Amino acid sequence: MEKIKKLIGKNVYLGPVPKKNISKLVKWMNDLDVAMYTCQATRKHTIETSKKFQEECLNDMSIHYYGIFTNDGNLIGGLDLREIDSINRTASLGIIIGEKEYWDKGYGTESTKLLLDYGFNILNLNNIMLEVFDFNPRAIRVYEKCGFKIIGKRRKSKFFNGKYYDEIFMDILAKEFNNLKLKKWQQKRKMNLSVKKN
């Protein structure tokens, strides 16, 4: 199958996840080292549930889900904008790097910035938020690098392995986002169109 590149960065691109890669998603969601940082560790994950999730994403305009691929086409994770509200211009973001050898190498940061750029400059969103558990400082650092700010927390709301943890809420506004690759692309396109008209 041809590689479809929806959003292209320096080291990664975001695109639809081919059906042949669904087994990778199932593997990640059944790996506690990966799933414990999401809300998925307590859920059952099979090929069937992953196929159903993919179909729901295709049919639901309030979800934009993409795979994270290295430049050579290796699927290493996934991320999405969900609960998209086009009237109030809000959405929630989620990300997972499922291939652990790609942790702590900047792939999560670059992918998040690509999706924020898309959300703010193509989907016309104004506020994107996320939730993260306080036992995941690596993810919090990534989000802060992307411009997210902590806006509150739900105390002792996650019970995991015999201990309670806080759920931290973070968000970012369009005016606070500085990685404007798509905005520059839009401006260039408008410039080219205006030249053609003259």
Q: Which residues are annotated as catalytic?
A: 143
Give the span between the Cα atoms of 36 and 74, in whole angstroms: 23
Amino acid making up residue 38: T
Tokens standing for 32? Answer: 């506690």
Q: What is the dihedral sign for C-alpha 2, 18, 30, 165?
A: positive
3-state secondary structure of 176: helix
Give the span between the Cα atoms of 184 and 198, in whole angstroms: 21
Q: What is the dihedral sign for C-alpha 167, 140, 58, 70?
A: negative
Which of the 8 DSSP states describes residue 4? P
Are 148 and 172 within 8 A, CB to CB? yes
